A and B are shown apart, each in its own frame.
Chain A
């Protein structure tokens, strides 16, 4: 019975996402593999926003029914829009799903035999638990509770509201079932990565390489922040992956800005550092659009993100959300005062990138791939990608100049690996597009 309720909850999310994807998709035939990924990821975003808004007025069954009805309405309108649309045929789809199925079983198994811990429990799932106790509404008192500032009350609600939806559908808190959401994001990541890389490079094997590498990066799978642990880092990484693929499509074919706008808006809604990712990727988009003479359209693609960030700030102010104790306010004086941390940060970063137990050979392979992208004229269209990976690493590193932790080195060690996860996703795309073909090599 719970399995059925869980599947229905996921179906609602996918329906809402399908509806959005039908309207936001680029002006081309979309493959069913890509549509699955878009539906899952856009659905998570849509449902979390619907739940946040509707729960301000409705609770319990009324909230459940209204949210499900809205998801259904989105799904039906999407089906209506696509009823005469042609579907693209993606090469290697059967083989892809045949290989993916056993991997998903392993991921699901590992997610259900490792309980939620640390941030996954005390920063994200706890919000869902509290919301579930209040009929799906996260009480405003939560945000201003001085005894709970350690929960980082200003963190966005993408993942907690997704979990809240599962709890609402299952009739109560079900931590075991909630952890199966790992599969939701892994499936979204694999389908988008395969479909996007295959379409953009015209080679299914490159899509396969990208997905295979994803499952071979320990930090992305089973280490803290990885898929099976269900912290917000992996969902953020998947949204960033989708955003990078959308920007790549705009670069290559000049379309897909609506999807870019959706992913940019979603990034800061998943996790706060998503704003840095959206800002860097947004800059890349503006630069590409300027070269294509389409700057005005690209600027418009950033509007939903800015609107979303402002709306969330207004909401946090209205509910008197607790401040952040992890960082000092950004100022030149603080940066200069803490400049002696730079060698510590650089050392920690270098050490982290070389930790094969977490990253396998990802960063080494990414370095080779970026060098090839820089030198090979056939890969010229991807030259915006290395800065999109490297600039956030530099920005993230600089944030530790403002760390308010007594021991900044501990702050770096505990958070830097997770900050790198979305960038690892973009690096995977770089590796897949730059790896030499077998016949090319010989």
Chain B
């Protein structure tokens, strides 16, 4: 009896989780999916690799975004994934005198060669380029 209920409940959960989407064996499928989800970029892995490739491999980069938005973490991880071996730091904006919950700030003295702005607008005085509605890049040339 118990095993019967076990079987029915298990099959019910399988039916809820089952996806009929076709298999996708693309090389960058996970990165593309996250880039689409967080940055609104189609073919995101290729675009981000191209952008990140313009920075010297020993120069640090920084992503700036809303510090209490957990997706900033994944945005940071995603850039870091593709930017290897460049160090990628993350600075979260949580308002005045408030510590950001989701960031990984650089130690003092780090001068990033490039700044990525996620879900925040870059300062007007900084020349920048929008990669999507949610992501812009600025080259500081430090």
Contact = CB atoms under 8 A, between A and B. Distances in A.
Interface string A140-155: 0100011111100000
Given A146-B87, A216-B7, A113 B24 contact: yes
B46 interface: no
Interface residues of B, number: 41
B29 A122 contact: no
B14 to A, nearest CB: 8
A66 interface: no
Nearest to B84: A130
Contact of B10 (A113, A360, A368): A360
A200 to B, nearest CB: 19
Interface string A286-307: 0000000000000000000000
B107 A176 contact: no
Given A145-B87, A147-B106, A360-B13, A113 B25 contact: no
Interface string A354-374: 001100111011001000000
Give the secondary structure class of A's interface.
helix
B60 A176 contact: no
A150 B73 CA distance: 10
Interface stretch (A167-175, A189-197, A419-427): A167-175
B19 A114 contact: yes
Contact of A175 (B2, B28, B84): B28
B17 interface: yes
B6 A216 contact: yes
Contacts of B21: 113
Given A110-B17, A121-B34, 6 more contacts: A110-B19, A115-B32, A122-B77, A145-B87, A209-B3, A365-B2
B30 interface: yes
A356 B17 CA distance: 14
A148 B10 contact: no
A173 B27 contact: yes
Contact of B2 (A112, A113, A368): A368
Interface of B: 2-3, 5-7, 9-11, 13-14, 17-19, 21-34, 60, 73, 77, 80-81, 84-85, 87-89, 101, 104, 106-107
Contact of A212 (B7, B19, B60): B7
A108 B24 CA distance: 11
Given A112-B25, A212-B7, A360-B13, A406 B84 contact: no
16 contacts: A108-B23, A110-B18, A115-B33, A116-B30, A120-B30, A125-B30, A141-B85, A145-B87, A147-B89, A173-B28, A174-B25, A176-B25, A215-B10, A216-B6, A361-B5, A365-B2
Contact of B22 (A113, A129, A216): A113
A112 B25 CA distance: 6
Contacts of A120: 30
Contacts of A150: 73, 77, 104
